[in-house]
C-alpha cells in the first residue's frame, strides 16, 4: 500500500484527533486529493529535521483520515484528522513537489480487551479529563472499557516527550501499553495509581 506521508513533531494514535493548519502547497495538494478520493495519509514522528523541510522519521506511524476541514480567518486551511491504523514504513520516496510518499504495511491491532480491575482507576481519571479537553474531544468515540483505547488517549494527552509517545505507539500489547502509561503518569504526577 502506498500513501502520502506527513512527518510531524507529534504522534498520532488510532482513534485520536489531530488538528492541523495547512499552508505548504505540497500538503494543500495532499489534503485536496485525500478529500476528493476519500483517501488516508500517514503520520510519522520526526526524528531529525523539520516539518517544513527535510526530515528523517521513525518507521512506525498511524494512518489518518480527514474528518473535518475549515478555512481559517487568516486564510489558512484547517483540518481535523482522526487516527485509524498503525503502520510500518517499508520504503519512502520524495516526489518532485516535496511530498513524501511511503510504501507501508499495516500493523495488526490486538483485539479489544477490558481494562483489568487493578487499572480501572485510570479509566475513571481519563473520563474526567476528556470531558475538560473541549471541542476536539467532544465527538470522540468513548471506549473506557477498552484497555488499548484508554492507553492511547492517555499517551496522547500526557505531557511526556515525543520519544515516550512513540514507544507507546510501537508497543503492540495494549495491556503493556497501559502499564507503560501508568508508570509515566506516576512519574509526571508523582502519585501512586492503584
Q: Three-state SS across 99-133?
A: CEEEEEEECCCCCCCECCHHHHHHHHHHHHHHHCC
Residue written as grid cell 488516508: 40
Q: What is the pLDDT of residues 7-47, one digit of tens each?
A: 999 999 999 999 999 999 999 999 999 999 999 999 999 99
Which of 61-70, 110-119, 124-133, 182-191 is modeled with the greatest confidence?
61-70
* The C-alpha cell that represents 100 in the structure block: 513524501
Alpha-carbon distance values, 171 to 63, 103, 174, 193 (Å): 16, 21, 7, 21
Please check whether residue 144 is in contact with residue 123, taking contact to mean a CB–CB distance below 8 angstroms: yes
Task: Provide the whole-model pTM.
Answer: 0.92
As a whole number, the mean pLDDT across the chain is 93
Q: Please count the CA atoms within 13 angstroms of the CA of 17 that sit on its side-chain side.
A: 18
> What is the CATH topology of the domain spanning 2-106?
2.30.130
Q: Is residue 152 over pLDDT 60? A: yes
* Annotated domain spans of the chain: 2-106, 117-189
Which residues, listed in sequence order, are joined to residue 101 by a DSSP beta bridge? 4, 93
Work out the average pLDDT over 142-171. 95
The matching CATH number, chosen from 1.10.4060.10, 3.40.47.10, 3.30.410.40, 3.40.50.2300, for 117-189 is 1.10.4060.10
Q: What is the pLDDT of residues 45-71, one digit of tens each?
A: 999 999 988 899 999 999 999 999 999
The single-letter DSSP state of residue 16 is -
Least confident of 74-88, 111-125, 151-165: 111-125
pLDDT of residue 25: 95
pLDDT of residue 192: 53
Work out the average pLDDT over 78-106. 96
Amino acid at each position: 500500500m502506498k500513501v502520502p506521508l506527513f512527518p510531524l513533531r507529534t504522534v498520532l494514535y488510532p482513534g485520536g484527533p489531530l488538528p492541523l493548519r495547512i499552508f505548504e502547497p505540497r500538503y494543500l495538494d495532499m489534503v485536496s486529493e485525500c478529500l476528493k478520493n476519500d483517501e488516508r495519509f500517514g503520520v510519522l514522528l520526526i526524528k531529525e529535521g523539520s516539518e517544513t523541510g527535510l526530515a528523517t522519521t521513525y518507521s512506525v506511524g498511524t494512518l489518518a483520515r480527514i474528518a473535518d476541514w475549515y478555512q481559517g480567518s487568516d486564510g489558512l486551511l484547517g483540518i481535523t484528522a482522526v487516527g485509524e491504523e498503525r503502520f510500518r514504513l517499508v520504503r519512502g520516496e520524495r516526489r518532485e513537489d516535496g511530498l513524501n510518499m511511503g510504501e507501508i504495511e499495516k500493523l495488526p491491532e490486538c483485539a479489544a480487551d477490558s481494562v483489568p480491575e487493578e487499572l480501572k482507576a485510570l479509566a475513571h481519571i481519563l473520563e474526567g479529563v476528556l470531558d475538560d479537553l473541549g471541542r476536539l474531544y467532544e465527538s470522540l468515540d468513548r471506549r473506557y472499557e477498552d484497555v488499548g483505547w484508554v492507553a492511547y488517549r492517555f499517551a496522547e494527552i500526557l505531557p511526556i516527550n515525543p520519544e515516550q509517545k512513540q514507544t507507546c505507539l510501537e508497543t503492540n500489547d495494549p495491556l503493556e501499553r497501559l502499564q507503560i502509561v501508568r508508570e509515566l503518569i506516576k512519574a509526571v504526577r508523582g502519585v501512586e495509581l492503584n
